[in-house]
Structures are given as structure tokens and as C-alpha cells.
Amino acid sequence: MTQSADNVLDHFELFRGPEYQNMLAAKRELFENRRDPAEVERVREWAKTAEYQEKNFAREALTINPAKACQPLGAVFAAVGFEGTLPFVHGSQGCVAYYRSHFSRHFKEPTSCVSSSMTEDAAVFGGLNNMIDGLANTYSMYKPKMIAVSTTCMAEVIGDDLNAFIKTAKEKGSVPEAFDVPFAHTPAFVGSHVTGYDNALKGILEHFWDGKAGTAPKVERQPNGKINFIGGFDGYTVGNIREIKRIFDLMGVEYTILGDNSDVWDTPTDGEFRMYDGGTTLEEAAAAVHAKATLSMQEYCTEKTLPFIAGHGHETVAFNHPVGVAGTDRFLMEVARLTGKEIPDALARERGRLVDAIADSSSHIHGKKFALYGDPDLCLGLAGFLLELGAEPTHVLATNGSKGWAAKMQELFDSSPFGKNCKAYPGRDLWHMRSLLFTEPVDYLIGNTYGKYLERDTGTPLIRIGFPIFDRHHHHRYPVWGYQGGMNVLVRILDKIFDTFDANTNIPSKSDYSFDIIR
Amino acid sequence: MSMSETQNVAEIKARNKELINEVLQVYPEKTAKRRAKHLNVHEAGKSDCGVKSNLKSIPGVMTIRGCAYAGSKGVVWGPIKDMIHISHGPVGCGQYSWAARRNYYIGTTGIDTFVTMQFTSDFQEKDIVFGGDKKLAKIIDEIQDLFPLNNGISIQSECPIGLIGDDIEAVSKVKSKEYEGKTIVPVRCEGFRGVSQSLGHHIANDAIRDWVFDKAQGKDAPAGFEATPYDVAIIGDYNIGGDAWSSRILLEEMGLRVIAQWSGDGTLAELEATPKAKLNVLHCYRSMNYISRHMEEKYGIPWCEYNFFGPSKIAESLRKIASYFDDKIKEGAERVIAKYQALVDDVIAKYRPRLEGKTVMLFVGGLRPRHVIGAYEDLGMEVVGTGYEFGHNDDYQRTAQHYVKDGTLIYDDVTGYEFEKFVEKVQPDLVGSGIKEKYVFQKMGVPFRQMHSWDYSGPYHGYDGFAIFARDMDMAINAPVWKMAETPWKAKPKPHLMAAE
């Protein structure tokens, strides 16, 4: 017996002792009917080959370890960025339990969201009663300022009509007539979580700008000098939105953040649970129609929203999750152009500091090969940064990336000599990436928490940037946008590079040279 | 702050009843009527907890529950390690449940073992419109091609499958034939079925009965399997953080032979061998009583519920299990209890003084709302409120008859609002629930442990697990951070509802 009260061993160590090891070996031997270890080894080696890769890439039906989620997750993300807003997902209730868990595991914060809890009878008769009761309950219990409705695939398959249902619910008195209930259909079998973000945000703006589903006059646009900012679905939203606000304030820009999640996913522990916190106020959301321009930080998160906004007379500009010097330069110069504000010297100095840091460190990154996966915009932004660090983003993969995205990636590769041997993989998953890492190895991998399986199987060190990050804490508090955000990304990459150097040079009298104190 | 120190049971009951009335005020009338049936104050001597359960959740109230898919793929099937479980439908369900439950296992992931992988048919609009059966058939082919060492496949249906009329049973049969009788199990666990995870457990159990047991019928035991008089199967342990392992070791030490684990670190061969067991020992009654009853009826295998949380219940359970066997095993149980007594004494000596009198409120899933009560009591703690996410009346009966004290606040399928208010007013020293609840209560300054995932710790089962449980409860409650929650310059006397303060 190894357990003791003085030194309590948990799962990290407990099972490594001989008692458990013998027990597990006997279990395997006697009961598991496992494959011959030699056969397992043969297949393990085979799965690293080009032959296996060819089969793997020939897959047409099966998806393995995808790097994308479904639409309603994005809808919930968008909704909680508005003041006092409770997301209401119409359909099966298990989905909502999943979205809430998913966000809480990433942000280490509560995520409030309700479901209309549809079951078999609703599948047959439709979910109208669930909508009527659900809105009434949500309104009385949680006193939201707005309820933003989206759908699960169940409600979409049976064809529930949100517009009609919400109207009927209001007629039945579930919520007051004038209460804001924007909605968006968000079928899980179309697009991904970024599509859901897009649909939900558009639904909210449409609600406020275009006459609240026929219940109010459309807002007459009276252009002012403000700009709107849309962050998109972003795992770093807490740090990023705060950084963007700081930058705008430094520049003296008048702005509205459309969908500000930075407070609701970063509330203090001080004795009070804040179900709602911060967010774009409903007045701001409505008044945002008057802005002269709208910026989207993530083009693929706003493919419908931006044209909708442009249709209201705004100039619109889309970026692809800019990270690093050139990306931030373009962003700031666009903001300056649109608002007529000068970029203050304080930001020029921040830029200089990032360039300084790159100059100090790029020799450790220059020429290194990276594999990278994530949402389409994040991939473009990070690949751009890697190129300016002199690194090669050799494999760039987005499960929810389109052919158009791949073409855009190729353009980026073509813009730099370091992009020469780089390739984009739209619509592929992490099992494809696994093959790539075996057949065309790289030095480092950038991706979300699930990349740790690739790191384990292929030995490629993982730099955690993306969503979700479940197994490291608090990264979402640090921006990756702006020059300071670029600094954070640079440091994260460098830390892994230096840790890897140390880990590869630390066996005394074998590989202890190069175990340097100064790097 | 223990209520029992400051209030007598009558006062507690009155307070809890008033609290229930208070939370019901927030609801529209119709909802209040429905929710009232799920909330109660336990009366000692009653045969159940006096609440309705296993009923539909009410729309819009923020239920904590999940769905049938979660019960089947997430709980029952997912941990079977040498099979590939396809999340059949759109991408989300498989994505959100991907490796989230820490069902530990040993194996070469991606080659002969597949638990922490996400296999999905990633339905697109055309699959909804034209049906997904052809795609499913192709997926099975691709699995066979890329993962030749898989020992079986299960198809975990997501909502659309049942709605668009796909015939996954037919595809499974055809493909099974094509691959020489390979075990391919269609599971009709669409998320809209039933009222919670619970129906998913039942459907998953039935699928094992129909597509694993019935398929193996007439065949001899798996190759190399020789029965002994001491063969038992662990049923309903998902090996969260290694729970099944710290349980198995005790059963083996008392002289039993564990021929199968359902389903944590389990294999298809173990499922198939289980009808040869002499006794099924059942930990999570809620999720696997169905298959236990089936094996009793069909194969004459008795089953016995046990509880491996905390030394009191462990000793009781070891003796109960031993009672089905001869003196050798009975002596074995005593030997095991004696062997671990020193550890138990040390753990209690170390942690009980730090935890004595602390109160706990629980809200968890299948067995834990009652099973962990004994472990808390072994540490001198008191559970003052508990409830089940997806329990049935038989769970509440067991809870009333064997676990909770007079006056305990009972809340079935608690809503976010209710749970928050109950905790705010009862002010327990610890809340034990899930990830969705964790940060709500921590923000309120209340120590919390996730009691589904052991907050990424564990195991908690068995004697080894009890030491970890005690350590974790101590570190939750006595962490210095909780003294810092209040901003000092804003400090005000705490509003205690407790009248006798």
C-alpha cells in the first residue's frame, strides 16, 4: 500500500506503484482480449507513413478530431456580449448544458444560458409551447434586459419558425410586447461556431435597426463620427476587447463595441455572483446604426453581418484576426483613416517595443517550421505573424475553412519568401494534421488544447493558442491583438522554444551541452 | 457554520420550508406549481424524499441536465476503449463531450484504443435532406480502413437521426455481415428522447443487451476465458480519475476475480464475458441497473449495490459483497478492512479536525447525491441539502432510507435560480456540483468541488480514494483564498438568515 495521510497520492502517482501496475497488467492479460503488442506496434508505425496519409486524406465521410464546433455555440458567444442578455436556445436541452460547460472550461467563469427543453412531443407537434413557457419563465426568473434566441439542430430539422413563435409568445404575454427578443436560426449542420456567431450578431443588429421584427419603425440612420467594432468569436475576448478599448481611448476614437464579452467572462470573486456584467448596452446597439463605419476583426465571423451593415450605409472593413506588427499597423491605420484621428506616439512606442522584442529574439524563431490550426481568421493572423518573425507556417489547417480561405492563405504565403513551402488545408481535421506531422515534420505546433494529443503522438511541441484552452489557465485574460498582444504571442512562442531547448539538453553526461544559462 | 450547532431540527425544517416557498415566488403560477413538486424538506422515517422526479424539465428555467446522447455516448459507451464510438449527426455533440469526462484507460490511442478521440459524421445540410445512411456506411468502411485494430463500432445518434428517419440498424446489420460479424451497435440515443441523460443510460444498456449479449449468444465464453467461483463484474464505474481501479484492487485483495469493468477502462471482451460472472457488483445504480436486472433475469446472475465512498460505506459494502460468497471471501473482506484501517485512522486524524461540523450542499448526477454522504460524515461533515440531476423515485427512496438526515433540503432537477438562492440562504461551507455551477458559487465566495469530475483530481473510490477525497475537501474549504473574497474596506456584517445566530 503506497497511500498515506502524510503524502496523499492522487491519479498522477497512485497508479504507478507496483500494486496497481500488476493489477492492470493482469487485467489486460486475462480479460481485455487486446491485440498482439507486435501488431499494435506495426500498425502504430504504419499510421506514420505516407501510405497511411494517402488513405487518411482520401476520407470522404468520416471526420476525426475536428477543430470546429457547431453554430449555436457561436450564437451564445455573441449573445452574452450584450448588456443583461440571456441566450435562449430553442431545441433540445442537452446542447445548452454542453455550451455552458464548454465556455466555463475555457474561461473558468460561469456561463448563463437557457434552453426551451424540447422533447419527443415537441418533435412531433413543434416547439411553440416550449417557446411560450420558456420565454415566460426566463423573463420572470432571471430578469434579463434582452433574451437572444437561437436554435439547435432539432428545432431546425422540424422547421420551427422563430419569428412566428416569438410573436405568438408575446401575444400570449410571455414577455411584454416591447421586450427585446432578437433571434437567429443557427442550424448545427451548416457552417460552424463562427457561422453561428455571425447569424446571431446579425439577428441582434437586424432587430434593433430594422424595426424589431415589424413591431417598431425602422431606425432612420443619421450618420455620426463613431465607429463600430466587432471582435468575432474569440477565445481571447476578455484580454482582446480590453486592449482594443485601450487603444481606441488612446486615439480618442468614439466607438461602440458590438458584442463586448470582456466583463461577463471576467467577473470578480468578491462574494457576489454577477449573472450579467458589462456588455454592449441595448441603446448602444440600436444607436450603432448611425456610425460612419464598422470594423470586423474577423472576416469569417461576419460574412453576413458585415454586408448587412454595409447595406445600412456604413463603410465596412474586415481584418483576419491581425496578430503582430504589420497586422496591427494595418488595423491602426484603417482606424485612423476612418476616424480622422491620429495614431498617438504612445502606440508608436508600443510598436517600437514589439519590433525591439522581435529583433532581440527572432534568431531563435527564424527558419523554424510551424504547423498551425484553428479558426480561419486566427490562422491568417497567426500565419502572418510567423512570417514576419521569419518562421515558416508550413501546415495551416482550418476544419471550418473554405476554399476561399485557402486561397487567401495562399496569397499570404506568396507575399513572403518564408511562405514558399507552406500550404493551407481547408476542411481538414486533426487526424489529417497527425499524418502531416509524421510525413512532413515541423518544429512546433500551434493550436488549442486538443493539440496535446498531436504533441504526444508526434513529439511536436505544442504552443497553445486558440480555442478552447482547457488545460492551461487564464490565457484568455491576455490580449493577442495590438502590439502588446503581439508581445504576448511572441513570449508564448519563445517560452515553448526555450523550454524545448532545455528539455532536449538536460541529461547529464549525455546531452548536457547546449543547456545554456544565457539564450 | 453548521446549522445543527445553532438550530434544532424543527427550526431547520421551518427555515427550509420557508426557503422553498420563497424561491417559488419567482415563477409564473403554472411553473411554480410544477416546481413545487420537486422541492421538499426530508422527514425522517419517510420511505422517499417526497419529491417528484424523472419528469420533463421546464423550458427556460436553466436546468442543469443534459440529454440522452450524453447519457449514452458520454457515460455508458464512450469509455469502452477498444471500440470506436461515432457521434452520428452534426459536429457539436461530439466536440463538447470530447475527452471531457476523464474516463481513464490504458492503451495506444488511435491504434487499438480510442476513448479520447472524436469520431463524427459531421452532418451537413445535404445529409439532413437526403439522409445519412450512405454516409454512415462509408464511415464504417473508412474506420475499418484506417483503424484496423478496432474491436467494434457503436453509432451514437444525435437529434437529427431519429427526426429524418435514418435506418442505422439496417446499416449496422449490413456492415456487420460485410465485416465478418463485427460488433456494430446502433444506439438510438437522440438528445430529444426522454427528459435527461437518464433515458440515454437505459437505451445504451438495452443496446448492449440487444447488440452485444444477444449477438454472442450460443457462443462459448471469449477465447481463453475460464470461469472461477469468485468471478465478479464491476458495473457502473466509469473510472473517473481511476475510480474503478482503486475499487478493483480491493475486490481482488479480498479474493474475488474481476472479469469486467463497465465501462471505465472496459473492453468489448469484458462486456461479452460478463454473463459468466457469479455476481454483478453495481456502483452507479442509476445508469446500469437495467443491464444488471437483465443479467439477473436472463443469466441468473445476482447483483448487489455497493458504495465505495468513505471507510464506513466501504467496509459495509465489502462485507455485503462477501456475503454472496464463501468464508474465504468473507475472511478476505475482513482482512482488507483491517489492512486499510491504519490508513483510514491516519486520514481521519489528519483531516477530521479541519472539517468537523462543516456543512455541504450537493447537486450531482446518478449516485453521488447519496453515495458521497457517508464519506463526508466519516470526516465529521454534514450534508444539509442534496438533489439529483436525473434521479428517479428509486434513487430518492434509497436516499431517504439510507442516507439523508431529518430536515435535509431536497431539490430535484434544481434550476440555476433555486440552487443559487438555496446556497445563499443556507450558507453551506462547501458546495459539490458540476462545472456549470462551480464558478457561480466560487464568485459568491463559497468553496466548491466538482463532484462529477472530482475537479480533475481523484480517484475518490476505495480506501486510496478516500485519502484523496479528504485532502481535496480540506483544500477546498480551508484554502486561504476564501478569506480574501471580501474587499476589506467594503466589509460589512454578514447577513445570516439563521435565526439563532
Which domain CATH number covers A294?
3.40.50.1980
Stretch (H or E) spanning B261: strand B257-263
Interface test with B, best of A19, A20, A34, A43 (most B CBs within 10 A): A34
Q: Which residues contact A215 (CB under 8 A, 6 or more apart)?
A: A177, A178
Closest CA to B98 of A38, A369, A98: A98
Q: Determine the pLDDT at residue B389.
A: 98
Domain assignment present for residue A63? The answer is no
Rounded to whole angstroms, the Cα distance separating A476 from A262 reads 10
Mean pLDDT along residues B300-306: 98
- Residue with grid cell 498522477, as numbered in its chain: A12
Closest-CA distance of chain B to residue A394, Å: 24
Q: Mark whether A83 and A193 lie in a shared domain.
A: yes
- Ordered DSSP codes for B184-212: EEEE---TTSSSSHHHHHHHHHHHHIIII
Q: Determine the pLDDT at residue B499.
A: 40
Mean pLDDT along residues B342-352: 98
Phi-psi region of B458 (alpha: psi -120 to 50; beta: other; left: phi over 0): left
Interface test with B, best of A39, A64, A174, A264 (most B CBs within 10 A): A64
Q: Determine the pLDDT at residue A379.
A: 98
Q: Determine the pLDDT at residue A294.
A: 98
Q: How many domains does chain A have?
A: 4
pLDDT tens-place values along chain A, 519 residues long: 789 999 999 999 999 999 999 999 999 999 999 999 999 999 999 999 999 999 999 999 999 999 999 999 999 999 999 999 999 999 999 999 999 999 999 999 999 999 999 999 999 999 999 999 999 999 999 999 999 999 999 999 999 999 999 999 999 999 999 999 999 999 999 999 999 999 999 999 999 999 999 999 999 999 999 999 999 999 999 999 999 999 999 999 999 999 999 999 999 999 999 999 999 999 999 999 999 999 999 999 999 999 999 999 999 999 999 999 999 999 999 999 999 999 999 999 999 999 999 999 999 999 999 999 999 999 999 999 999 999 999 999 999 999 999 999 999 999 999 999 999 999 999 999 999 999 999 999 999 999 999 999 999 999 999 999 999 999 999 999 999 999 999 999 999 999 999 999 999 999 999 999 999
Q: Determine the pLDDT at residue A78.
A: 98
Torsion sign across C-alpha atoms B325, B326, B330, B335: negative
Closest CA to A321 of A349, A307, A302: A302
- The answer to whether residue B424 scores a pLDDT higher than 50 is yes
pLDDT tens readout for residues B33-92: 999 999 999 999 999 999 999 999 999 999 999 999 999 999 999 999 999 999 999 999
Domain assignment present for residue A109? The answer is yes
Last residue of a domain, one of A156, A176, A209: A209
Last residue of a domain, one of A281, A310, A345: A345
Stretch (H or E) spanning B282: strand B279-282
A462-464 β-sheet, strand order: A423-426, A392-398, A369-373, A444-447, A462-464
Rounded to whole angstroms, the Cα distance separating B193 from A147 reads 26
Please say if A153 is a catalytic residue.
Answer: yes
Q: Determine the pLDDT at residue A316.
A: 98
Q: Mark whether A271 and A325 lie in a shared domain.
A: yes
- Residue with grid cell 442550424, as numbered in its chain: A187
Q: Mark whether A80 and A171 lie in a shared domain.
A: yes
User: B213: which DSSP letter?
Assistant: I
pLDDT tens readout for residues A161-171: 999 999 999 99
Last residue of a domain, one of A297, A313, A345: A345
By the 8 A CB rule, do B275 and B295 touch?
yes
Q: Determine the pLDDT at residue B168.
A: 98
Q: Is A269 on the interface with B (CB under 8 A)?
A: yes
Q: Determine the pLDDT at residue B215.
A: 85
Chain B residues lying within 8 Å of A29, measured CB to CB: none
Q: Is A116 on the interface with B (CB under 8 A)?
A: yes
- Residue with grid cell 444539509, as numbered in its chain: B384
Q: Is the peptide bond before A223 cis (omega within 30 degrees of 0)?
A: no
Of the partner residues A63, A94, A453, the one whose CB lies closest to the CB of residue B70: A94
pLDDT tens readout for residues A416-439: 999 999 999 999 999 999 999 999
Q: Mark whether A238 and A111 lie in a shared domain.
A: no
Q: Mark whether A498 and A366 lie in a shared domain.
A: yes
State whether residue A171 is helix, strand or coil: helix
- The answer to whether residue B498 scores a pLDDT higher than 80 is no
The grid cell for B88 is 452520428
Q: Mark whether A381 and A339 lie in a shared domain.
A: no
By the 8 A CB rule, do B188 and B162 touch?
yes
Mean pLDDT along residues B220-237: 88
pLDDT band for position B225 (cuts 50, 70, 90): confident
Q: Determine the pLDDT at residue B223.
A: 67
Closest-CA distance of chain A to residue B383, Å: 22
- The answer to whether residue B221 scores a pLDDT higher than 80 is no
Rounded to whole angstroms, the Cα distance separating B212 from B274 reads 11
- CB contact under 8 Å between B90 and A23, yes or no, is no
Name the residue of chain B whose CA is nearest to A58's CA. B142
Q: Determine the pLDDT at residue B219.
A: 65
Domain assignment present for residue A518? The answer is no
Rounded to whole angstroms, the Cα distance separating B378 from B466 reads 10
List the catalytic residue out of A157, A190, A219, A355: A157
Q: Determine the pLDDT at residue B495.
A: 55
Closest-CA distance of chain B to residue A129, Å: 9
A-B contacts (CB, under 8 Å): 358
By the 8 A CB rule, do B35 and B418 touch?
yes
Rounded to whole angstroms, the Cα distance separating A22 from A24 reads 5
Rounded to whole angstroms, the Cα distance separating A95 from A196 reads 14
Q: Mark whether A319 and A280 lie in a shared domain.
A: yes
What is the pTM assigned to this prediction?
0.97
Q: Determine the pLDDT at residue B218.
A: 56
Rounded to whole angstroms, the Cα distance separating B413 from A117 reads 13
Q: Determine the pLDDT at residue B500.
A: 35
Q: Return the bridge partners of A445, or none.
A: A371, A462
**Alpha carbon of residue A291 to chain centroid:** 27
Please say if A181 is a catalytic residue.
Answer: no
Of the partner residues B91, B148, B267, the one whose CB lies closest to the CB of residue A32: B267
Q: Domain residues for A440?
A: 362-504
Q: Determine the pLDDT at residue B494.
A: 61
Closest CA to A72 of A127, A129, A148, A144: A148
Average pLDDT over chain B reads 95
Q: Which residues contact A305 (CB under 8 A, 6 or more apart)?
A: A198, A201, A202, A205, A230, A296
The grid cell for B307 is 458504495
Q: Is A448 on the interface with B (CB under 8 A)?
A: no
The grid cell for A65 is 478530431
- The answer to whether residue B224 scores a pLDDT higher than 80 is no
Domain assignment present for residue A247? The answer is yes
pLDDT tens readout for residues B426-446: 999 999 999 999 999 999 999
Rounded to whole angstroms, the Cα distance separating A28 from B47 reads 43
Q: Mark whether A3 and A78 lie in a shared domain.
A: no
- The answer to whether residue B4 scores a pLDDT higher than 60 is no
Q: Mark whether A392 and A318 lie in a shared domain.
A: no
Domain assignment present for residue A433? The answer is yes
Q: Mark whether A83 and A198 lie in a shared domain.
A: yes
- CB contact under 8 Å between B486 and A270, yes or no, is yes
- CB contact under 8 Å between B248 and A23, yes or no, is yes
Domain assignment present for residue A519? The answer is no
Q: Mark whether A466 and A382 lie in a shared domain.
A: yes
pLDDT tens readout for residues B116-167: 999 999 999 999 999 999 999 999 999 999 999 999 999 999 999 999 999 9
Domain assignment present for residue A178? The answer is yes
- The answer to whether residue B251 scores a pLDDT higher than 50 is yes
Domain assignment present for residue A51? The answer is no
Q: Mark whether A203 and A268 lie in a shared domain.
A: no
Q: Determine the pLDDT at residue B2.
A: 46
